[in-house]
Amino acid sequence: MSGASGFAGVLGWPLEFTLSPAIHNAAFRATGIDWNYMAFPVPPDRLGEAVAGLRALGAMGANVTMPHKSAVVGHLDDLSGDARSIGAVNTIQRVGDRLIGHNTDVDGFAEFLIGDAGVEVAGRTAAVLGAGGAARAVLRALAAMGVADIHVVARDPAKAERLAELVPAGLASVTPEGAGASVIGAAELVVNATPLGMRGEDAAPGAVFRPGQCVIDLVYWPPQTPLLERARGAGAQAWGGLGMLVRQAAASFTIWTGQDPPLEVMSAVALHGLRARGKQPQ
Ligand code: NAP
């Protein structure tokens, strides 16, 4: 690092485990960009100060993760289309003195589906578990990709109804969590957009999976969640959240640098980071 080096980072709380510094620092090194990426644990009541700090210190950009994705909107100067419609930001771009909020989870999910999983969703039925920020991004992406029918399964029906309003009328309907198993079992594409699975919970208790189904868990740690284990065991195709994590990071990289992301490097570092975590005492 020198006085001329740029910096970027991720704001989250808590930020005990994040792959973003490893992924982005590897991308900067691979492309010869003299920037460094750091993790900034920022408690919710200090988010405004942290964003002002990015501005004052001339950060090249930043990522925003839980629980700040919605709250950060009020501290920015403008929003891109996806960030505005979803009401959540995961990427901050600095343009001169202005800070612009983006949401690369939408493109990240779509690019993961098409580029990594090779899943064709047009005309298919989907069940989306959860009604938070990631679910909003998934719904927007699925609608843009021409999915025929979306069932939102969530514990808060009012929140799920608001989520369904993000896509054209009639495309999404709401199923209360308790009645979710049959909808999940029937859907061709299932996406878990809740944190269930991070601590060994089953995100879809009672749902029966089958061959031909495609199940995606946005949780990336642990790599094998109970949902993925059961789906794979039943012959369904199943993916964890690492691919989307890399794709949304790649989209952030392009927003900040204007360059094509070194995807292979970013994927390899992310995978290495997960494996290293697996070897640590939990
Ligand atoms: P969020 O905005 O907090 O939303 C979480 C959703 O899950 C909410 O609908 C919440 O319900 C629901 N939920 C939480 N605990 C639950 C429980 N015990 N039972 C039932 N529902 C529960 O979080 P997010 O940003 O959407 O993230 C969700 C997950 O996706 C996280 O695990 C995150 O790490 C992952 N994610 C992964 C990527 C990736 O690139 N792989 C990207 C984004 C997010 P309420 O609304 O009722 O609280």
Tens-place pLDDT, residues 165-190: 999 999 999 999 989 999 999 999 99
- Yes or no: say if 166 and 140 are a contact pair by the CB < 8 Å rule: yes
Q: What is the pLDDT of residue 37?
A: 98
Give me the percent of the chain exceeding a pLDDT of 70: 99
Please give the model's pTM, rounded to 2 decimal places: 0.95
The active-site residue, picked from 10, 62, 63, 69, is 69
The 10 Å CB-count burial string (b at 16+, else e) for 243-265 is bbbbbbbbbbbebbbeeebbbee
Q: What is the 3-state secondary structure (H, E, C) of 218-247?
A: CCCCCCCCHHHHHHHHCCCEEECCHHHHHH
Q: What is the pLDDT of residue 281?
A: 64
Q: What is the pLDDT of residue 16?
A: 84
pLDDT category at 103 given cuts 50, 70, 90 is: very high
Give the separation between CA 198 and CA 250, rounded to whole angstroms. Answer: 24
Spacing, Cα 139 to ligand 1 middle (Å)? 14
Which atom, in ligand 1's list, is nearest to the CA of 159? 46
Q: Any residues with Cβ below 6 Å from ligand 1, and which?
A: 66, 105, 108, 130-135, 154-156, 159, 193-196, 198, 218-220, 241, 244-245, 248
Which atom, in ligand 1's list, is nearest to the CA of 66? 25
Tokens representing 72? 């950060």
Q: What is the pLDDT of residue 17?
A: 87
Spacing, Cα 219 to ligand 1 middle (Å)? 9
Biggest CA–CA distance in the chain, Å, is: 59
